[in-house]
Structure 1
Amino acid sequence: MGMSYRRYLHGERIYGCSKCRTHLTTISFMISRAFNGQHGRAYLFETVVNIVEGEPSDRVMTTGNHTVRDIYCIKCNTTLGWKYDKAYEASQKYKEGRFILERNLLIDVQ
């Protein structure tokens, strides 16, 4: 495995990994704050950088069945949330390709 390079973001409010402060996304990519993760409040984002995606798995969630991948910080390997690969309910299709980040694993880095 080669060296991993991290992207640095610019904008109003930058969210980073709470352990190592690696940039992950900005407030302009936020779609919704009305989500729950495994450990409390979570946010839905359109774009997230500096992550590694795990293997896909099917999960039954409160909004139905989804195929998701856990996502990890590229620097410290902290589990940050998950990415939606597939939503099986028509009303949940807007989540496909989007990311959930758990609020308690984020910090403002700017």
Structure 2
Amino acid sequence: MKKSIGLVAHDDKKELLAQWCANHREKLAEFDLYATGTTGAHIVEETELSITLLKSGPLGGDAQLGAMIVENKLDGLIFFIDALTAMPHDVDVKALIRLATLYDVPFACNRSTANAVLGLF
């Protein structure tokens, strides 16, 4: 069975995540990929990877990824976080991070940890 990875990024980090995905396109193509709507659209445009697009983060995409974690349907989470900007849906972001931690899902919040998480699989 293919492993699955969730992809999400705050607005100022979407292009950085898309570039990271382009750099790791061959490896990422081996996974079932899920991404929040806007982030996923950026990644698809940059890489042409096959990605299941969820709702935008503030409209429930973060919650959808969280539900996938709880249902044991997500093997890793890569979430490029903008640590310098307050987010209106910060509660949703914290809930997603809490679930990844609680369910022991490998979680990356920047390029260095994303490289490490991808190397686990």
Larger Rg belongs to:
1
Structure with more of its chain in helix, by fraction: 2
TM-score of the alignment, normalized to the shorter chain, above 0.5: no
